[in-house]
Structure 1
Amino acid sequence: MDLAGLRVVKAVAETGSVSRAADSLHCVQSNVTARIKRLEEDLGVDLFHRMSRGMAPTPAGRVLADYADRVLRLVAQARDAVADAAGRGGRLTVGTMESTAAVRLPPILARFHADHPAVELTITPGPTETLLIEVLAGRIDGAFVGGAVNHPDLIASPVFDEELVLVEPATGLSGAAGRHTLIGFGRACAYRGRAEMVMRDAGRVPYRVMEFGSLDAILGCVGAGMGVTVLPRSVVEREPWQHRLSCRTLPDPLARMPTLFVRRTDSVETQSLRAFLATVAADPATQTPTPPTGLKTLAAAC
């Protein structure tokens, strides 16, 4: 059993096919088949069920695929840790919600890059649920997510305290259709769940949902009067949106949502990750709630 064999087991288990596994590993199918057969002979068990259309792991195959995932993740972490310790910078992949990337991260990333130019930093945007899956799978080193997180394999540290607001066009909504249309990300987004709670509590039911994949698309459609959304105040009260959109405050506890930085409990804290978290902690906005501005409350608007 070697790393190449473990990569093959992991690829076949994830793709369910020898051909797709070969494509992902950039090798020929015969190599994949031979590796699987050799492992099965070595371990004395069948690792996969051969079916007419693909392959499915046996119980023993699922166990080995799980170990393969953990071993390969540790090997990748070891490579980065060694590069980090040798002063070659290392690599760091951080996931983030789009709203956090748009408002909170630019000054943090600029400061981190200036202080640690050798670190190869990759930022991966996505909704909260997707980012949690990526962190648990070891595909990213950590992520900024919204809302409470309680998982035995994750460390979750509060970073920002966001005030959520109901966002409408500055010119107002012309009819009931706009008041009963929610514009937002997909269900994997933490703000989407809170937005649906806001619509129900405000009596704006039934409502329809229009899903978009980008923050600017959501804000642009709200500005055009197509509907409403729920986002952090910090996202809306910036150029060019502050003059095109209006915010209505929400009642507690709907208005508050923490942004957490999550990572695996068994992850290696490299110098690069430690330096990044220190840069985040030094930002003036860290753990600083957005002050109220005296705008009308949602109750007054409904």
Structure 2
Amino acid sequence: MNSSDLAFFLAAARHGGIGRAAAALNTVQSNVTARIRALEAEIGEALFTRHSRGVRLTPAGERLMPYALRVGQLLAEAREAVRDDGTDPSGALRIGSLETTAALRLPSILAAFARACPRVDLHVETGTSEALIGKVLDGDLAAAFVVGPVAHAALVAEPMVEEELVLVTAPWQGPPRWLSPSPDATPAAEQAKLIVFRTGCSYRRRFEALIATAGVVEVRHLEFGTLDGIIGCVAAGVGISLLPRAVVEPARAAGRIATHALPAGSARAVTVLVRRRDAHVPAGLVRLTDCARSAMSPASRDAA
């Protein structure tokens, strides 16, 4: 079994067909077929079943898949490590970020990084903490900004910034009664939908835990994939949300929304930068981390 045979196996699995794999590898179908048959003969198991539209993995092929992926990732990391002398970062760097962090914190970080590493092609993918952590573990992302704490033996998590979380409502709504016993508390806010990011969002989990602790049983959700969508619906009175204060402050200052303090135990969330412990850390990621530390330091936040 060698890495070339595994590359042919991966191409057929990813594209679902020998012809499509051959096109992706810029070779002929007979070459792909021969390499896969040689791999099957060596292993002693069929890796694909053939059907009218292409191929699909057998149970043995599914068991081989994660190892083939890891071999490919290790070879790519090895090439990167050999070429990376740390003096002049270049090439592609893929990172992930929460939507809120991308909106609030990343612009200044990326501006500093672009000045420091003009030859690096940076790709930023937004998503939930759960999804981004999975992509870092799979090797699809070099690192990601997510909500901590993150306790995983395969990951290094460096705290970057602590955010204050607040409940966000329409400007004419007071806090819901489960949050505040004050006369300003409103039944309307209590019965409103929870406007949240997709499942896997750490802020969403905290919001749901806060609601459950307050004894609220019947909860309706409205999911959005963007921060602007959430703030817009809250401003229109469609529902309420839980977000970092710094993210929603411009909308509050403009009179579009109102914010309400949370109990002390629920009001803080730490953004961490996670990366794989066993992976090579490219010079570009080292520089990006330095830029993030500088931009997210207490002194930088106070100056802003």
Unmatched segments (≥5 aa) in structure 1: 292-302
Question: Are 2:164 and 1:163 equivalent residues in the alignment?
Answer: yes
CA drift of 1:169 comes to: 1.1
Q: Which residue in the other structure is 1:295 paired with?
A: none
Unmatched segments (≥5 aa) in structure 2: 175-185
Question: Are 2:276 and 1:264 equivalent residues in the alignment?
Answer: yes
Contact 2:194 2:240 (C-alpha < 8 Å) held by counterparts: yes
Q: 1:125 to 1:44 in 2, by over 3 A?
A: closer
Question: 2:163 is paired with a residue of what secondary structure?
Answer: strand
Q: Which residue in the other structure is 2:24 paired with?
A: 25
Question: 1:253 is paired with a residue of what secondary structure?
Answer: helix
Matches for 1:83-102 after TM superposition, within 5 Å: 83-85=83-85, 87=88, 89-102=90-103
Question: Are 2:117 and 1:106 equivalent residues in the alignment?
Answer: no
Q: Which residue in the other structure is 1:124 paired with?
A: 125
* AA of the residue aligned to 2:37: K
Q: 1:18 to 1:247 in 2, by over 3 A?
A: same
**Partners of 2:222 and 2:255 in 1: CA distance:** 23
* AA of the residue aligned to 2:258: S
Equivalent residue for 1:218, pick from 226, 230, 240: 230
Question: 1:170 is paired with a residue of what secondary structure?
Answer: coil
* AA of the residue aligned to 2:21: A
Provide the TM-score with structure 2 as the length reference. 0.83
Matches for 1:281-300 after TM superposition, within 5 Å: 281-283=293-295, 285-286=296-297
Q: Which residue in the other structure is 1:189 paired with?
A: 201
CA drift of 1:44 comes to: 4.0
Contact 1:83 1:89 (C-alpha < 8 Å) held by counterparts: no
Q: 1:39 to 1:161 in 2, by over 3 A?
A: same
Contact 1:18 1:33 (C-alpha < 8 Å) held by counterparts: no
Question: Are 2:45 and 1:46 equivalent residues in the alignment?
Answer: yes
CA drift of 1:222 comes to: 0.4
Contact 1:94 1:143 (C-alpha < 8 Å) held by counterparts: yes
Q: Which residue in the other structure is 2:179 paired with?
A: none
Aligned residues: 286
Q: Which residue in the other structure is 1:198 paired with?
A: 210
Contact 1:183 1:210 (C-alpha < 8 Å) held by counterparts: yes
**Partners of 2:195 and 2:22 in 1: CA distance:** 38
CA deviation vs aligned residue, 1:95-153 (integer Å, no higher than 9, x gap): 00000000011111111111211111111111111101111110110001113211121
Q: Which residue in the other structure is 1:6 paired with?
A: 6
Q: Which residue in the other structure is 2:35 paired with?
A: 35
CA drift of 1:272 comes to: 1.1
- Two-structure CA RMSD over aligned residues (Å): 2.9
Percent identity between matched residues is 38
Question: 2:198 is paired with a residue of what secondary structure?
Answer: coil
CA drift of 1:242 comes to: 4.8
Greater CA deviation, 207-216 or 173-182?
A: 173-182
CA drift of 1:81 comes to: 3.5
Q: 1:153 to 1:20 in 2, by over 3 A?
A: farther
CA drift of 1:4 comes to: 3.6
Q: 1:19 to 1:248 in 2, by over 3 A?
A: farther
**Partners of 2:189 and 2:164 in 1: CA distance:** 26
Equivalent residue for 2:262, pick from 250, 253, 261: 250
